[in-house]
Amino acid sequence: MATDICKWVGGRIRQLRTKRGWTQQILADHAELTREHISALETARSEPGLCALERIADALEIPLKDLIGR
């Protein structure tokens, strides 16, 4: 069962990705992750690890705190 924070972070990743006009594949390529991993995070089917969150934040060129902070 996904926690509220996982759902929130997943939604935040999706929001920031779509704001840039990026597909999940483009974000995955920039973050050096798989598209499946991005999808699982966005839909809260997977809990994000700190390293994955850092890669995503770096790919989106934002501080990690802006990705996970409420």
The class (CATH top level) of 4-68 is mainly alpha
DSSP conformation letters of the chain = ---HHHHHHHHHHHHHHHHTT--HHHHHHHHTS-HHHHHHHHTTSSPPPHHHHHHHHHHHTS-HHHHH--
Q: What is the value of pTM for the model shown?
A: 0.91
Mind listing the pLDDT tens digit for each residue in 3-33? Answer: 889 999 999 999 999 999 999 999 999 999 9
Structure tokens at 31: 């973050």
Per cent of the chain over pLDDT 70 is 97
